[in-house]
Amino acid sequence: QDEIGASIATALNATLLGEEMPAPPALPPPSIEVYETFLRGRFFWNRRTSEGTRRAIECLRQAIRMDPSYAPAHAGLADAWVTQAIYGLVAPSEAMPQARQSAEAALALNPALAEARAALATVVAAYDWDLHRAETMFRQAIALNPQYPAAHQGLAIMCLTPSGRSDAALDEMHRALTLDPLSPVLRVTLSSVLLYAREYEKAVDATRSVLDLDPIFAPAHYFLCQSFVHLGELQTAIVHGEHAVEFSGSSSETLAALGLALAVAGRQERAREISDSLAERARSAYVSPTHRAHIHLGLGETDVALDLLAQAALVRAPDLIWLGVRPVYDAVRGEPRFQALLKQLKLDTP
């Protein structure tokens, strides 16, 4: 697919939004062992769990040790580090620089590798908070390889959605799903775009289709929990929150989703217990302050939540990229401190 995309672009004398189309270098194919190790890494990455991303990093590092010139392994490693940061599994100050380094290593080996440009674009969007530059890079990745679903996905969720262009984001997600219609990750991303567009019923439908393929896919339960909170179906939200916690291995973001559902449902004591447990976890591991902020918003404690969001900005929490569109923040959207934070992060939507 990379070769076909590059050939078409070269034939059309295409440019990448002002840049000359890089020619793919003549690299020998990887050995079967390297390629299989790379594929195992991609498989574990697509599980979207702490254990899955950890094993992905191990496999991709092994592939790189076996063949340091294999650019897709470097790009895959960048994706794995990015996922750890966005899911709040590792401190962004640790994960994002490693992701950037791996993506740049891949581009040094193969400047025409769409996977590497898309991975670097995600770092630029979610860590540098430079949505304009990130969008250019995602579009460059798509120009290099229109058949790469994750480039359309990244453009949709990392640039178009945060800037309030939900219709364009949905178009990109439908393109991605046309390329890979059975991907649980892409379907969950579609549900998140719908959630942030306040299309809660459609988000539920999109996410339920994921569970038909993989009933224990934690991100699906995570987004169902949030959608049902906003639909007011709180007991159903709590059930999916509990599933998300179980199937993710008790990740911080799934605990936060469950805590929010409990708080809104009036089960404040248990919600506070979850917030306290996340605070305790943060003493020895990274926990995005946004996670506890969500629970305190559910409890109606807006000052506490705004303090936590300010802390999140200090540590460059990647999940702040959806600050301007995430429904959980509607309760404080008019607060001067919240508006100031949006401007500080250059995330205020048109």
User: How do residues 126-168 score in pLDDT, each as one tens digit?
Assistant: 999 999 999 999 999 999 999 999 999 999 999 999 999 999 9
Predicted local distance difference test score (pLDDT) of residue 6 = 46
Predicted local distance difference test score (pLDDT) of residue 1 = 47
Predicted local distance difference test score (pLDDT) of residue 48 = 82
Count of alpha carbons within 13 Å of 314, Cβ hemisphere only?
Answer: 7
Tokens of 112: 């025409």
pTM (predicted TM-score): 0.88
Among 5-9, 49-53, 112-116, 252-256, the least confident range: 5-9
Predicted local distance difference test score (pLDDT) of residue 5 = 45
pLDDT tens-place string over residues 203-232: 999 999 899 889 999 999 999 999 999 999
Predicted local distance difference test score (pLDDT) of residue 14 = 47
pLDDT tens-place string over residues 294-339: 999 999 999 999 999 999 999 999 999 999 999 999 999 999 999 9
pLDDT tens-place string over residues 88-121: 889 999 999 999 999 999 999 999 999 999 999 9
Q: Is 181 helix (H, G, I), strand (E, B) or coil?
A: coil
Cβ proximity of 315 and 324 under 8 Å: no
How far from 314 is each of 297, 318, 342, CA to CA, in Å? 20, 11, 13
* pLDDT grade for 350, boundaries at 50, 70 and 90: very low
Give CA–CA dist 56/48, Å, rounded.
Answer: 10
Q: For the residues 263-288, what does the mean pLDDT come to?
A: 96
How far from 350 is each of 103, 132, 341, CA to CA, in Å? 30, 13, 15
Predicted local distance difference test score (pLDDT) of residue 144 = 94
Average pLDDT, the chain: 91
pLDDT surpasses 70 at 19: no
Q: For the residues 47-56, what does the mean pLDDT come to?
A: 88
Give CA–CA dist 64/70, Å, rounded.
Answer: 7
Predicted local distance difference test score (pLDDT) of residue 9 = 46
Predicted local distance difference test score (pLDDT) of residue 29 = 82
Predicted local distance difference test score (pLDDT) of residue 16 = 54
Q: For the residues 261-282, what does the mean pLDDT come to?
A: 97
Please state the separation of Cα 304 from the chain's center in Å.
26
Predicted local distance difference test score (pLDDT) of residue 49 = 83
pLDDT surpasses 60 at 46: yes
